[in-house]
Amino acid sequence: MLKRGGLLEPSNFTILYVFSFFFGSVIGSFLNVCIYRLPREESIVFPPSNCTSCNNPIRFYDNIPIISYLFLRGKCRSCGERISPVYLIVEVLSGLISALLVWRFGFSLTTLFYFAFLSALVVITFIDLEHMIIPNVITFPGIGVGIIYAVLKTDWNTAHLLFGSSRFNLESILRILNEVPIIDSIFGIILGGGVLFLIGFLYEVIRKREGMGMGDVKLLAMIGAFLGWKGVIFVTFISSLIGTVVGISIILYKRGDLKYAIPYGPFLSLAAALYCYTGGFSFRF
Ligand SMILES: [Zn+2]
């Protein structure tokens, strides 16, 4: 006999995803505060949310993610000034990120850490789009959180056995990278930091101007900390692919103005998000 209201009932699944989406969008409204305040070097905890135009505090009932924005039609209740649609976009995006992670990985360590990782990437993307910077206050702690995630994932018995029995040839090194997340993470940081640093350095030598900011280098190191060396290769390849397509489109649209600077952080972030959900090139056909 089927039990009613069991975990596999579709209705409970729906509630689960609605809850995950709502939780994500609440975090999204905090991410909006970070996006606005971090580049202006303001505190992200004090004062509480206020209108950036008239400085009036936002009432709790006007601070419900997505719903308040739609209800107020994107305008401040006090001064009527237009509120940037970025607020709405970030809240919806964070809700989707959260619900998709629960759908893909359930309630797990991976969901928790990927949500922290993807939230950081959302903040980085929107700050980079507006200010062309990637703040160290996100990437440096991000590298630390990525290492903690790798430590928690590592099976130390396996690690011990592999290190005890390995001769150092390519095969055993690849095996250690595959089966010991903490080694993979550290190698990812070095590879991520190194690869972009080298590309940026060569670009500067050849073109005699800075093409890649150090912020991108630290971002790819953070991506390496979370996703390991395979993630770095995937993200380097896919982000340059997306970046090239978008770059060419903008050049065509702007009729050949090559000097229009495009921030690279959003492409790295998008590629990293794709890796989180698909597992990169390793998914089976
Ligand atoms: Zn206002």
> How is the chain split into domains, by residue range?
12-107, 112-285
- At residue 28 the predicted structure's pLDDT band, cuts being 50, 70 and 90, is very high
- At residue 159 the predicted structure's pLDDT band, cuts being 50, 70 and 90, is confident
Contact 65, 95 (CB under 8 A): yes
Centre of ligand 1 from the C-alpha of residue 76, in Å: 5
The predicted pLDDT at position 24 comes to 98
Name every residue whose Cβ is closer than 8 Å to that of residue 155 and which is 6 or more positions away in sequence.
179, 180
Predicted TM-score of the model (pTM): 0.88
Contact 264, 239 (CB under 8 A): yes
Mean per-residue pLDDT of the chain? 89
The predicted pLDDT at position 1 comes to 43
Centre of ligand 1 from the C-alpha of residue 75, in Å: 8
Centre of ligand 1 from the C-alpha of residue 43, in Å: 19
In three-state secondary structure terms, 82 is strand
Contact 234, 271 (CB under 8 A): yes
Name every residue whose Cβ is closer than 8 Å to that of residue 69 and which is 6 or more positions away in sequence.
83, 87, 88, 91
Beta-carbon neighbour count of residue 121 at 10 Å? 25
pLDDT digits (tens, 9 = 90+) for 241-261: 999 999 888 888 877 665 667
* Token pair of 51 as six digits: 């209108």
Centre of ligand 1 from the C-alpha of residue 66, in Å: 18
Centre of ligand 1 from the C-alpha of residue 60, in Å: 15
pLDDT digits (tens, 9 = 90+) for 37-82: 999 999 988 888 889 889 898 888 888 999 999 999 999 999 999 9
Centre of ligand 1 from the C-alpha of residue 87, in Å: 14
Centre of ligand 1 from the C-alpha of residue 256, in Å: 40
Give the residue with greater pLDDT, 58 vs 138.
138
Centre of ligand 1 from the C-alpha of residue 15, in Å: 35
